[in-house]
Amino acid sequence: MIEGITKEKIGRVAAMIREAKHVVVFTGAGVSTESGIPDFRSPGGLWTKFDPEDFTIDKFLSNPETRRKQWRFLLSSDLLKDADPNAAHKAIAELEALGRLDCVITQNIDNLHRKAGNHSNKVYELHGNMHWIRCLKCSNRYPLEEILRESGVSSEVPSCRHCGGILKPDVIFFGESLPEETLQDATRHANRCDLMIVVGSSLAVYPAAYLPFYAKQSGARLVIINLTPTPADRTADVVIHAAAGEVMGQILAEVKARLSECV
């Protein structure tokens, strides 16, 4: 249930969206927990079940046992389940449809912003996309579904059907650089926007977590919607510690109400 003080903040955020010319939404794993995908750092999150040390690129490349572990992680982590976008994803997609959103910058690898209806060229996936698998030798890229269909869910780690090379989920592992062009585009949007809304991120993973600070330094207003405090709360103009789905749904409703008043 949204309380009075949160309602007042929701009204302020809706007014900011209406006033802004360049709105950017920046999301993390918390925007997808209401779709049933666990985040990393919440109680019961993925790092309570798996060791982040196993997800370094060095280990992946050098150790076949680590590759097996990671493949098992993939199959058992719920990251691959056929999740549906929740109210927060849908509200963000609708902001785009209303012409109120420049882009979504996401750390998520679950494809849910596109599935909710954000256009592909408006979604910047800083950490890649779990639904693709890439061969490290010939760079062929395969839909994950295809690989799972061919290799079965209980099999050994599959290899590239074209060249026999090592297949790796097309996501960024610890120790890997972010995709350069995507990071550049996202940074440009962060520096240019006049409103950035952060939804469901602990803002603990860099360099992605710099982007809200870049936005603020460039003069944008900053809104944080997260269940728990973040390092950017003190810098933000509005901070709402509540569930993303309900808050984003209500922000969207307010934005629509204000837009219809202006017609």
Task: Write out the two tokens for 239.
Answer: 């901070």
Q: How far is the CB of 115 from ligand CNA (least distance, A)?
A: 12
Cis peptide bond prior to 143, omega within 30° of 0:
no
Q: Which is nearer to ligand CNA, 160 or 170 (CB)?
A: 170
Measured between alpha carbons, how far is 106 from 144 in angstroms, rounded to an integer?
20
In the bound state, the residue with its beta carbon closest to ligand CNA is: 30
List 127, 131, 189, 241, catalytic entry? 127
Tokens of 217: 């330094």
Strands 128-135 and 167-171: antiparallel
Q: Across the strands, what pairs with 56?
A: 174
Query: Which residue, 46 or 186, has its beta carbon nearer to ligand CNA?
Result: 46
| Shortest separation between residue 127's beta carbon and ligand CNA, angstroms | 4
User: Minimum CB separation from ligand CNA for residue 109, in Å?
Assistant: 4
Strand, helix or coil for residue 176: coil
Q: Exposed (0-12), middle (13-18) or buried (19+): which is 5, by Cβ within 10 Å? A: exposed
| Cα angle 48-174-231, degrees, rounded to a multiple of 5 | 70
User: How many CA atoms, within 13 angstroms, populate the side-chain half-sphere of residue 144?
Assistant: 20
Cβ nearer to ligand CNA, comparing 204 with 253:
204
147 or 227: whose CB is closer to ligand CNA?
227
Residue 127 is a catalytic residue: yes
* Of residues 86 and 160, the one with the C-beta less far from ligand CNA: 86
Residue 36 Cβ vs ligand CNA, minimum distance, rounded to whole Å: 10
Give the shortest CB-153-to-ligand CNA separation in angstroms.
Answer: 20
Instruction: Point out which residues bind ligand CNA (CB under 6 A).
Output: 28-30, 32-34, 37, 39-42, 45-46, 107-110, 127, 200-202, 204-205, 226-228, 243-244
Query: What is the distance between the alpha carbons of residues 241 and 114, in angstroms, rounded to a whole number?
Result: 25
Q: Is the dihedral of CA 72, 129, 167, 184 positive or negative?
A: negative
Instruction: Show the tokens assigned to 12.
Output: 């302020």
Name the residues annotated as catalytic. 127
